[in-house]
Amino acid sequence: MHLHECLRRHLDRLEPRRYAVDLEEAVAAADAVELDHRRVFIEPALADGGRVNNRIEQLRNRHRRFDRLMHLVGLVALVLLSLLTLVPR
């Protein structure tokens, strides 16, 4: 589910789910999900690839920015609802 969320715009076929992305992008998308895991690469070129690490960091920063935006929206909604309770009817 988390991987699909990141790669959904690259969906090639629905059944079976196939994504039209290169291997580095798929690995970065899977690794950027902040679930407990460990990285084990069979492909030696990916293990020492700096491009994968840079892409992972970009995706994690995007996730953090989106989380901050959603927290801000929630805070604004909370303040608005609090102010609406103070307005007499």
Q: For 22-53, write each residue's pLDDT tens digit.
A: 778 888 888 888 777 777 777 777 767 788 88
* DSSP bridge partners of 13: 18
Q: Please give the C-alpha separations between residue 72 and each of 26, 47, 77, 78, 79, in angstroms, as whole numbers.
A: 30, 37, 9, 10, 11
Mean residue pLDDT across the chain: 83
pLDDT of residue 89: 76
Ranges assigned E (strand) in 1-89: 11-13, 18-19
pLDDT band (50, 70, 90) for residue 79: very high
Higher pLDDT, 6 or 72: 72
Q: How many domains does the chain have?
A: 1
Q: Which domain holds residue 58?
A: 2-86
Higher pLDDT, 81 or 13: 81
